Amino acid sequence: MSLVLNDLIEYDDIVIQCHDNPDADALASGYALKWYLDKQGKKARFIYGGRAPVSKSNLVLMKDNLNIEAEYVTELDKPGLLITVDCQYGESNVTKFEADNVAVIDHHQVSGPLPRLSEVRSNYGSCSTVMYELMSQEGIDINEDMDLATALYYGLMTDTGGFAEVSHPSDKDLRDFAKPRQTDIILFKNSNISREELVIAGDALKHAHYNEEKNYALVEAMPCDPNILGIISDMLLEVDSVNCCLVYSLLDFGIKISVRSCIKEVKASELAAFITNGFGGGGGHIVKAGGLLKKDILVHSGISYDSETLREFLDERMSRYFDNTEIIYAGEKEVDISEYEHYVKSEVMVGYVDASKLAPEGTKIMIRTLEGDVDVEINDTFVIIIGVDGEIYPTGKDKFSASYRLTDEKYVYPGEYSPKVTNTSTGERISLLPFADSCIAIGGAGIYAKKLDHRVKVFTTWDPDKYYLGVEGDYLAVRADDLTDTYVIANDIFNKTYEKR
C-alpha cells in the first residue's frame, strides 16, 4: 500500500527512527517528518540507535543550527507506531525496536516484505526527496520554514555527491525549488571532515591494495565515522584502473564496509550483500552501498579477528564474487543448448496486463522483478505477466500469444502485496491489479533450461543496462523458439510453472 502522510495522523504515541550512524539525509528526512507531525498536533519523537551518538562535525552543526531533535537511544518502550525513514524495518543497519505498528519511508532498494504503510521510491536520489514529495502532496511549501528547506536540500546534496548523481525529476525539483539558508549549507559543506579524519583517509589511500586483473581496490581505514569510509570510497573510484572498491574499518563489534561501483556489470548493493552474506548484512544503491560483518559471527566461524587475516578474507570474497559470476548479454548469439533440458509450461492460471493501458505510449516505467529491476518504454508490443506467486515480468505480445491463452475467468491475485510499476519520469507508482485479466499458460514451444551451480547475471533484451541475477539453484532458461532470448527463473517459480517434456 502506498503511504500518504495523512495516514499517520490516526496513530498516537508515534516514534520516528532513522538508521544507525545517521547521515545528513537520514537526519533531514526524520526532521521533516517530525516537523509535519508536530504541525498536526502529534508530538512525535525522533530517534536513532547504534553504538554511539552522532559526532561527525557537519552533522553536529546540522543538528544544532537547524534545531533537529534527534535522540540517541539504546532502549525504547513499545510505541503505537514506529516509522523508519531512510531505511527499512529489520535491516542490519537499523536497531530493531518492537512496535504495535510499523511504517516505512525510504529510497533504497526493497530488502524484504514491506508493512502495509510504506512508501519506498528506489529511483530517488535521497529520502529527503521522498519527504519533499509527500509533503507537496499535502499542499505544504517547504520554504515556509527555512530550517526545513535547508535540511532537505542538504540531505539531497550529500546523498547525491553534491548533486552530481541527480537524475530523477523529483530530485531536480527539490534541488531547484528549495530555498535553503546558504550560509548554513556552506558551513556544513566545509565541515565534512576533520583534520584527524583527513589523516585517516590519506593513510588508508596510501596503503590501498589493487587487483589489476579484476579492476577492484581494497582499503582498510582506521576506526572512524562510517561516512568517512564513503568519502574514501568515492575518491578510490576516481582512479582510472578501479571499477569497484571496498573500504572497511575494524571496529570492536565488527567490520564496517563501504562499497562503490561504476560499471553496469556490478551493482554495489548486490556486491555488499555478497560480501556480508552469512556474517551480517549489506545493501544500498546501484553505485553506492555499505554493510556490516559482525565480529561474533566471524570469530564463531573460526576467522581470526586481526587486520592481516581479515584483509585476506575480504580480498578472497571480493575475488570470489568475480570468479563465480558468469555474465550473459541476451540477444547477441544463440545459446548452445547441449547441456539444457526441454521444459513446457504447466497449465496454470496467471494474470496479465496490456502495458499500453498503464500510461501513454512512450512513458518510461520501471518493473521490479524478483531477479532485478527492468526499465522499459510503454508501447503496444508487450504485456506484463503476473505469475503464480505474484512475481511480475514483461514479455512481447507475439511470445505471449504463443505461450498463453485468454480466459474470461476473473483474475484473483495470489500474493500479499499489490504489484506496481513505477513511472520513472514522475515517480508515480501504478498498481497493476485494476488492469489485470486472467490467462492460462500453455505448453507451446517451451524453453530449454538448466539448473545453476554458480551465479549468473543476464542482461536481457528488455533492459540491456541492468542485469537479472540468478544464484545457485535457480534456472537459466532460453526460449525454444528464440535461442538468443536468455533469462533467469527463480527456483521456486520454476518448479511451480514448468514440467519436463
Tens of pLDDT, residues 324-356: 889 999 988 899 999 999 998 888 899 999 999
E runs forming strands in 143-235: 209-211, 216-221
| Predicted pLDDT at 291 | 83
Q: Are residues 181 and 291 in the same domain?
A: no
Mean of pLDDT values over 46-72? 94
Q: Are residues 262 and 374 in the same domain?
A: no
Q: SS3 for 117-170, per residue?
A: EEEECCCCCCHHHHHHHHHHHCCCCHHHCHHHHHHHHHHHHHHCCCCCCCCCHH
The pLDDT > 90 percentage for the chain reads 60
- Give the pLDDT band of residue 451 (cuts 50, 70, 90): very high
Cell 507531525 belongs to 37
370 has pLDDT over 70: no
| Predicted pLDDT at 17 | 98
417 has pLDDT over 70: no
Q: Are residues 390 and 485 in the same domain?
A: yes
333 in any annotated domain = no
Q: Are residues 369 and 494 in the same domain?
A: yes
Mean of pLDDT values over 305-327? 93
Mean of pLDDT values over 76-87? 97
Tens of pLDDT, residues 97-123: 999 999 999 998 787 889 999 999 887
Q: Which domain holds residue 26?
A: 5-189
| Predicted pLDDT at 295 | 92
Q: Are residues 166 and 223 in the same domain?
A: no
19 in any annotated domain = yes
State the pTM of this model.
0.65
Q: Are residues 165 and 28 in the same domain?
A: yes
| Predicted pLDDT at 162 | 76
Distance separating alpha carbons of residues 500 and 480, to the nearest angstrom: 13
15 has pLDDT over 90: yes
Mean of pLDDT values over 30-34? 98
Q: Are residues 486 and 353 in the same domain?
A: yes
Distance separating alpha carbons of residues 486 and 360, to the nearest angstrom: 29
| Predicted pLDDT at 136 | 93
335 in any annotated domain = no
Mean of pLDDT values over 279-296? 83
At which of 189, 217, 232 does a domain end?
A: 189
Written as one letter, the residue type at 214 is K
> Which one has a higher pLDDT value, 131 or 442?
131
Q: Is the dihedral of CA 468, 473, 478, 480 positive or negative?
A: negative
CATH (domain of 28): 3.90.1640.10
120 in any annotated domain = yes
Q: Are residues 76 and 165 in the same domain?
A: yes
CATH (domain of 256): 3.10.310.30
Q: Are residues 78 and 35 in the same domain?
A: yes
334 in any annotated domain = no
322-to-266, 269, 291, 451 alpha-carbon distances in Å: 9, 15, 19, 20
Mean of pLDDT values over 67-80? 96
Mean of pLDDT values over 77-99? 94
Written as one letter, the residue type at 498 is Y
Distance separating alpha carbons of residues 60 and 436, to the nearest angstrom: 50
Q: Specify the number of domains making up the chain.
A: 3
Written as one letter, the residue type at 371 is E
| Predicted pLDDT at 371 | 57
- Give the pLDDT band of residue 408 (cuts 50, 70, 90): very high
Q: Are the beta carbons of 272 and 245 closer than 8 angstroms?
A: no
277 has pLDDT over 80: yes
Bridge-partner residues for 351, per DSSP?
386, 438
Mean of pLDDT values over 432-439? 94
